[in-house]
Amino acid sequence: MHKPVLVAGVVTALSGLLATGCGAGGGGSAATSGGTFTYAIGDEPDTLNPALQDEHTDPVTELVFRGLTRRDATNNVVPGLAESWTVSEDGKDYTFKLRSGLTWHDGKPLTSKDVKFTVDLIRRSGTAEAPLSRNFQAVSTVETPDPATARIRLSRPFAPLLDAMGMGLLPEHVLRGKKITDADFGQHPVGSGPFKLTTFKPGQYAQLESFGGYYEGKPKLPKIVIKYVPDDTARFIQLKTGEVDGAHLQPQQTAKVREDDRFRVETYPTADYRALMLNFTKPVFADKHVRQAMNYAVDRQAFVNSVLLGQGSPATGPLDESPYKTAAPFTFDPAKVDELMKAAGYAKNAQRFWVKGGKTVRFELSTFAEDSARVGILNVAATQLKAQGFDVVPNPRPRDWVRKHWGDLEAFVVGWGTPYDPDSSVFGPFHSSEALANGGSNYGSYANSQVDKALERGRGTSDPAVRKTAYADFQKALAEDPPFVWISYLKTSNAVPVALKGPQQRTLGHHGYGFFWNAEKWSWS
């Protein structure tokens, strides 16, 4: 009770003392002062080097760097620093024509030598230092016949290369002779993107300035500040008081921000999905009818409404948010569950569980205990599956335990998916050569020869029509023999001031990274 009085006293004393020249408090949004857009986000990257960020480029890196290719609003590959390219008949020879007059932020010219340097450096670094090097394993040489031409020769056709070249180019004149993990470059990067980093204060903020030498012309926003505010509530308060103009929002905050007429909430889909991964080394999952039935036994909209507070959409496969998406069959259909389970020879016992040969469909469903959204999905999934007769034992486990026991897990709430080239998001988790035992990321050891063939065709051709059919075949095979029980895709929300024009919807990546994808076009109205 005495606290407020005392606090008020101390505060009054101090603020009286400092009244001159501090102008401390909330008032005055930064939007009005010189046109800076100040945006608060919770996650802070360790490094701003694009070659070290795997498919979730943080805002600063996204603003500072550009690659040869880019992705448009529908995540299709379009020209970036390269104005055009040609691919040889056999799909092993890519020739990129660079735009004229490209420069780095420090004024040095950007040439094909930098392309060669970037690809060579990332290949040399290997996957332990730079996971993205997996996208360049097919590269045999990079040639630079002239400063505006880069020719990448592959040892085998690898269609995802065009998408992979969307990774920010690295400047040879800065990084020559250094390691790719060079800390100084990671903190003070030199790129060729629309904004140039002027100040980076780890733990505080990054300040960026529009770059006059950007190939599409100087961006209209003069300055962008990315402020790192790890606490969700503090971030929300800073938005409300005008200390920041925009912020990444938590699902429970979006409704409150929508009521505030100073802001507009931009809610975008992401390719980040949640699903129940099943371990194929466990006999309980041998019968594909059982896995199909489980996919009909979950009410996906219920997850979106309860666990995700509306910030999501039902998932029926790994490419729902990709341009390669084909129609998927799974809906919530208890009658279909009965039909499939009976066809598989199961009958219900006294506890209303499906039984065959004296055994129920019993398995432990786990996930990272630290991740509250995943634990929420785990609990709802267990309840729903039990209601449909599956004997699920929910048991979240600590992250560190899980890391050492991937092979022992029976079922697990996983998060996968990228909005980019389909190969990058589905080859790892579903191709049999990527099984856990081989050190790959197919943690459930899923194996289906049709799926394998379709995936190989998808990456081995550069013919768009062939790729389209390959990924359609892949999705069909996957629906017939489901590796996962698909749950939902996540959506991401950001608050921006109503006066900010330009943010455009695109399917974003993990944690909603990519919100600044077209920031070079943003402006104040």
Partner 1 sequence: MVLVLRRKGKTGAERMGRYLIWRAATAMAVVVALSALCFALLDLAPGSPAADILEARSGGRPPSAAAVTRLEHEMGMDDPLPVRYGRWAAGAVRGDFGVSYGSGRPVSEVLGDTVPWTLLLTLVAIVFSVAGAVLIGLAAALTRRAWLRRTIEAGMFVLGGMPGFVTSLLLLYVFAAWLQVLPSGGLSRPGEPVTLAVLLPHLVLPALALAFGHHFGTYVRLVETGVGRLRSAPHVENARARGLSRWTVTVRHLLRPGMVPFTARLGVGVGGLIAGAYATEMIFSWPGVGRQAIYAAREQDYAVLTAVVLVTGVIVIVANLLGDLAVAWLDPRVRLSGGGTHDVGD
What distance in Å separates the CA atoms of residue 96 and residue 70, rounded to the nearest whole number?
Answer: 13
* Residue 7 CB, nearest approach to partner 1 (Å): 6
* Residue 189 CB, nearest approach to partner 1 (Å): 13
Chain centre distance of CA 70? 16
What distance in Å separates the CA atoms of residue 300 and residue 315, rounded to the nearest whole number?
Answer: 7
* Residue 14 CB, nearest approach to partner 1 (Å): 6
What distance in Å separates the CA atoms of residue 197 and residue 189, rounded to the nearest whole number?
Answer: 7
* Residue 242 CB, nearest approach to partner 1 (Å): 9
| Cβ atoms of 50 and 168 closer than 8 Å | yes
The smaller minimum CB distance to partner 1, of residues 128 and 350, is found at 128
* Residue 31 CB, nearest approach to partner 1 (Å): 13
In 3D space, the residue among 483, 480, 71 whose CA is nearest the CA of residue 318 turns out to be 483
The smaller minimum CB distance to partner 1, of residues 226 and 392, is found at 226
Bridge partners of residue 249, in order along the sequence: 493
The smaller minimum CB distance to partner 1, of residues 46 and 143, is found at 46
Instruction: Give the CA radius of gyration of the chain.
Output: 25
Structure tokens at 174: 């800065």
The smaller minimum CB distance to partner 1, of residues 36 and 69, is found at 36
* Residue 440 CB, nearest approach to partner 1 (Å): 6
Chain centre distance of CA 212? 29
In 3D space, the residue among 245, 265, 248 whose CA is nearest the CA of residue 256 turns out to be 265
Structure tokens at 86: 């040609």
* Residue 76 CB, nearest approach to partner 1 (Å): 21
Q: How do strand 362-366 and strand 391-394 relate by DSSP bridges?
A: parallel
| Cβ atoms of 522 and 219 closer than 8 Å | yes
How many residues in total does the chain contain?
A: 525
The smaller minimum CB distance to partner 1, of residues 1 and 465, is found at 1
The smaller minimum CB distance to partner 1, of residues 2 and 100, is found at 2
Three-state secondary structure call for residue 213: coil
The smaller minimum CB distance to partner 1, of residues 269 and 512, is found at 512
The smaller minimum CB distance to partner 1, of residues 227 and 467, is found at 227
The smaller minimum CB distance to partner 1, of residues 27 and 464, is found at 27
* Residue 191 CB, nearest approach to partner 1 (Å): 18
* Residue 311 CB, nearest approach to partner 1 (Å): 18
The smaller minimum CB distance to partner 1, of residues 17 and 286, is found at 17
- The dihedral built from the CA positions of residue 6, 11, 16 and 18, taken in this order, carries a sign that is positive
What distance in Å separates the CA atoms of residue 483 and residue 503, rounded to the nearest whole number?
Answer: 36
Using CA atoms, how far residue 247 sits from 234, 239, 497, in Å, is 11, 7, 10
CB 15: neighbour CB atoms within 10 A? 12
- The dihedral built from the CA positions of residue 391, 395, 401 and 403, taken in this order, carries a sign that is positive
